[in-house]
């Protein structure tokens, strides 16, 4: 690969009918000259036809596709390969994506995995579950997690896990706001490590540089 090559990335982002898509916006802005993400965002997919993600795509001139399902391997592969991306990033996407090689597709999740992942565990639902576990004395931290994507929700191999301390005064809303801020701070930086192939998935195993293993956000199974 040429050192001047910018890997191409297709983003899946749900947002909402009225807004959302802040993670998608961060990826776009950080892929601009001077940003930490050396990649070209070639398009975005959303399950809302004229929602917040569509609005952001219009603002930045990013190709947009509405994808209403069904979310099976055939349909997902067709919508992805229309763009021929080198990588697929799920950023606030709440539907399944199937039929794409796991080494090419990764997700960011607003909670610890696997404990707070799976079908129905997204957004506010994650923060509510984490706070319930905190009040039962089961956890002291939430997390921002990134992982490669397999066909089962949130079960793909992890490569980033940033702990977020839960405060005694926290509510699902305050915890969620803090987790979201950390997501925005790290998503583009870690995404850049993946698209530059410093972090990769080889025969089902995550491979990371030695320097990365020394960082506190490296999952323990990679150390």
Tokens standing for 222? 């990679």
State the catalytic residue, choosing from 4, 5, 109, 124. 109
| 194 touches 91 (CB < 8 A) | no
Is 184 catalytic? The answer is no
| 15 touches 47 (CB < 8 A) | no
**Cα 204 from Cα 202, distance rounded (Å):** 5
Q: Tell me the backbone φ, ψ of residue 117, rounded to 5 degrees.
A: -130, 180
DSSP designation for 157: P
Q: Which of 201, 202, 199 shows the shortest CA–CA distance to 210?
A: 199
Helices (H), 83-152: 124-135
Catalytically active residues are 109
């Amino acid at each position: 690969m040429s050192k001047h090559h910018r890997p191409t990335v297709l983003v899946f982002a749900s947002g909402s009918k009225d807004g959302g898509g802040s993670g998608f916006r961060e990826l776009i802005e950080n892929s601009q000259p001077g940003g930490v993400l050396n990649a070209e965002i070639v398009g975005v997919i959303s399950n809302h036809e004229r929602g917040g993600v569509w609005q952001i795509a219009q603002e930045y001139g990013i190709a947009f596709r509405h994808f209403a399902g069904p979310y099976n391997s055939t349909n997902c592969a067709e919508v992805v390969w229309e763009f021929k991306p080198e990588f697929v990033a799920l950023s606030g996407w709440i539907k399944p994506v199937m039929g794409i090689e796991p080494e090419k597709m990764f997700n960011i999740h607003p909670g610890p995995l696997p404990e707070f992942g799976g079908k129905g565990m997204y957004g506010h639902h994650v923060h509510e579950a984490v706070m319930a576990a905190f009040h039962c004395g089961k956890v002291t931290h939430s997390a921002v997690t990134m992982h490669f994507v397999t066909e089962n929700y949130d079960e793909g191999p992890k490569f980033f896990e940033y702990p977020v301390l839960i405060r005694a005064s926290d509510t699902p809303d305050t915890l969620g706001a803090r987790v979201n801020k950390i997501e925005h701070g790290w998503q583009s930086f870690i995404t850049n490590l993946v698209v530059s192939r410093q972090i990769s998935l080889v025969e089902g195993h995550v491979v990371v540089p030695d320097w990365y293993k020394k960082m506190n956000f490296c999952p323990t199974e990679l150390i």
